[in-house]
Chains A and B, each alone.
Chain A
Amino acid sequence: MSIPQIEIQFIAIIVAVACAIPGAFLVLRRMAMISDAISHAILPGIVIGFFITQDVSSPFLVLMAAATGVLTVVLVEIINRTRLVKEDAAIGLVFPALFSIGVILITRFAGDVHIDTHAVLVGELAFAPFNQLIINGNPMGPKSLWVMGGILVLSLVLLGVFYKELKISTFDPQLAASLGFTPVVIHYGLMTMTSITAVGAFDAVGAILVVALMIVPPAAAYLMTQSLNRMLVLSSVIGIAAAIAGYWIAHFLNVSIGGSMAAILGFIFLLIYFFAPKRGVISVLMRRKQQKLEFSMLTFLLHLRNHSIENSNPEEREVSHLTDHFQWTSKRAKEVLEFAENNNMIRIDDGMVELTDKGYSFTDEAMQYILTDKKNELESMKGRFLLFRAE
């Protein structure tokens, strides 16, 4: 690997982690679309900052852009508060307006410089190593590496210091407010950090793909874990994996690095969406199927119990009863019978079905479970049958 290659991957990794942190909170606060708005609306801030400094990676640019990002959020909230326009429509009104101002400014006044509309949309990570930070005449590495690194450190420090405040104001804003944690401050703090991160990442992957880096890794991590810590770590790991894989795919196919990173992210998300151990689509479908089978078995067992040998007509206990009276298909009847027999709940003797001792105690427990709400006492059942587990 050449030095520029390492530098590019390094920048991509830093961008991915820096985006994942505010992104996780945006996803949990159901504000994913705000990242879209911010990442576009910072453009006029960047352009005006560029006019003043004539330098695309100046920290002043970051500040200008962050200010426009926060302005976007404020404008959306003002419009929303009039109740004449819904929040999603307010987002749709504000950011294209600001973005268009940025695009017009670029095409009118900066058509011949590094900043161009194409770079704005998809980023130019490949050029990052050419723009070196030079101190006392010595190159110190790409400027965007330093800018983005600074943003990541800031983000990590803020996360470390205000982790508790971020958590409580995201989970229970009312309690947070009543305890004096002023969720409004946390909210604007998060919006500012999102804007700052979007500016840095924008240079690397462009305005549209910033959204992918902010939203996709946390959305995928959310399906994998149920702890905020782990969600943050996993989001970062997913982002890093996509950054490295994206770089090499772009390298071999000779395509845009940002585009290939976002495509990999989409692919990782799809994998997790389908195959996540508990919340994935396949796992959910299998659990539903299992629950249906267990419930059918329970229905049948309770029926058998009502017509157990001592007190009732034997025809209720015939195997054929399942298809005749229950109106089950023979396939389903066979499945249920096999499942019950494999679990030693029933004995089948010459076409007649009978509950085993285990079947009796199971139906006992099940009736108790259905009729009482002493869930604590019945915790032990949950492990054995999916039916009794909360979805």
Chain B
Amino acid sequence: MANLYALEVNDLTVAYRYKPVLWDIDMKIPQGILMGIVGPNGAGKTTLIKAILGLVQPVAGSVRIFGKPYKKARSKVAYVPQKGSVDWDFPTNVLDVVLMGTYGKLGWIKRPGKEEKKQALEALEKVGMLEFRHRQISELSGGQQQRVFLARALLENAEIYFMDEPFQGVDAITEKAIIKLLKELGSQGKTVIAVHHDLQSVPEYFDWVTFLNVKKVAAGPVKDIFNDDNLTKTYGINFQLSETPS
């Protein structure tokens, strides 16, 4: 397992109606790192995650998770979609949504029982949402919604976590709480791959970074590749990190 990559993407091309959204992406991500994917709007960040998880069909290319195709590695993967992708007016409460994190392991038909509920409450405690367990999801703030999604992903007890904009629309305190959890996952040897928007916080939050703009510009350890040159190549404007306040 030691020299096995957590994620390998080979020659991945995705197109929406003949316009490439991702073009010939190659990446090899080692285990146990926190990686941010950055790039301008429309760079294909979300599409990359969806293609890895088989939610969009690629034109070409393949994906390996711990050396296996996604369908065989499903139990090792947790996914946190953008919180805007669901209807928060759905008639249900916090605990129920978090319990959905157990559905993958349960498989078809079996329902979550006492054990699953216990785990769900533990996950809620970890994200600081235990007291909200009976709250209707329509009454949550943006930060609370994100914590619920995170608790749900924690419950999947995966080896690799894919998160689509986990910091979008959350307050500063939630952002800190989330990053603390991600670092914790990292220290347990889990791999976290998150779509990220705020360039300033990249060096603080992540070990690795992928610069993406339809094509992969660069991927590697933050300390090696997070520089003006790559930022300029990705965003197409002159970037000077030294002048951006941190």
Contacts from A to B (Cβ < 8 Å): 28, 161-165, 167-168, 170-172, 174-181, 222, 225-228, 230-231, 373-376, 379, 389-390
Alpha-carbon distance between A222 and B93 when the two chains are bound, in angstroms: 14
B71 at interface by CB-CB < 8 Å: yes
Question: Would you call A227 and B103 a contact (CB within 8 A)?
Answer: no
Q: Which of B90, B109, B112 contacts A162 (CB 8 A)?
A: B109
Q: How far is the CA of A163 from the CA of B111 in the complex (A)?
A: 9
- A174 and B46 alpha carbons, distance in the complex (Å): 12
Contacts of A180 in B (CB 8 A): 71, 74, 104
* Structural contact, A373 and B93, CB atoms closer than 8 A: no
A374 to B103, CA, bound (A): 32
B122 to chain A, nearest CB (A): 18
Q: Can you report 15 residue pairs joining A to B where beta carbons are below 8 Å apart?
A: A28-B90, A165-B109, A172-B85, A172-B86, A175-B79, A175-B81, A175-B100, A177-B54, A222-B91, A226-B93, A227-B91, A228-B90, A228-B91, A375-B144, A376-B128
Question: Taking A164-B111, A178-B54 as contacts, is the C-beta distance between A172 and B100 under 8 angstroms?
Answer: yes
Query: CA separation between A230 and B96, bound complex, in Å?
Result: 14
* Contact stretch, chosen from B6-14, B134-142, B204-212, B233-241: B134-142
Please name all residues of chain A whose beta carbon is closer than 8 Å to the beta carbon of B90 when the two chains form the complex.
28, 170-171, 228
Q: Is the CB of B55 within 8 A of A178?
A: yes
Nearest CB of chain B from residue A269's CB, rounded to whole Å = 17
Query: Contact residues of B with A, CB < 8 Å?
Result: 50, 53-55, 71, 74, 77, 79, 81, 85-87, 90-93, 97, 100, 103-104, 106, 108-112, 128, 131, 136, 138-141, 143-144, 152, 171-174
**Contacts A172-B100, A373-B171, A374-B173; is A178 near B92 (CB within 8 Å)?**
no
Bound: A163/B96 CA distance, A: 13
- Of residues B71, B152, B173, which shows the largest number of chain A Cβ atoms within 10 Å of its Cβ? B173
Query: Smallest CB-CB separation from A379: which chain B residue?
Result: B131
The residues of B that contact A231 with a CB separation of less than 8 Å are 91
Is B131 in contact with A171, judged by CB distance below 8 angstroms? Answer: no
- Give the most central of B87, B103, B139, B140: most A CB within 10 Å: B103
Chain B residues in 8 Å Cβ range of A390:
138-141
Whether B74 lies near A179 (C-beta < 8 A) is yes
Chain A residues within 8 Å of B128, by CB? 376
